[in-house]
Amino acid sequence: MIKQNNVVRSVAPKGIALGLASPAIFNNNLEDYVTRLNHLDVCFLYSDGLTEMHNLQNTEFGYKGIMDILNNNNFQKAQDLIDNTFGEISIFKNDQKL
């Protein structure tokens, strides 16, 4: 996901998951994506382990969880984003061991 000028958008270039195909097939199914990031823009990279995480109520964190983190905060440093993300995950998981 990318946050630019306080607008969050999902970026999903063409491709397949690592390890699901031979290197030749994998490489032939990739799409390059290029964007310019300016000061205070955010590029948030994550795996499906974050979006597919469930809490005790069996609610999925989902894309909405990531969107909420990015929409509800302005980060001055990457570490602020990391700390906030782990805090939100802890709250979502009801302080379960991650």
Tens of pLDDT, residue by residue over 37-83, are 999 999 999 999 999 999 988 999 999 999 999 999 888 899 999 99
Neighbouring residues of 86: CB distance < 8 A, sequence distance ≥ 6: none
Q: String of b and e for 53-89 (b: at least 16 CB within 10 Å)?
A: beeeeeeebeeebbbebbeeeebeeeeebeeebeebb
Domain locations in the chain as residue ranges: 2-92
Identify which of 61, 41, 44 has the alpha carbon closest to the alpha carbon of residue 52.
Answer: 61
Taking alpha carbons only, the member of 39, 32, 29 closest to residue 11 is 32
Q: How confident is the model at residue 97 (pLDDT cuts 50, 70, 90)?
A: low
Evaluate if pTM is beyond 0.85: no
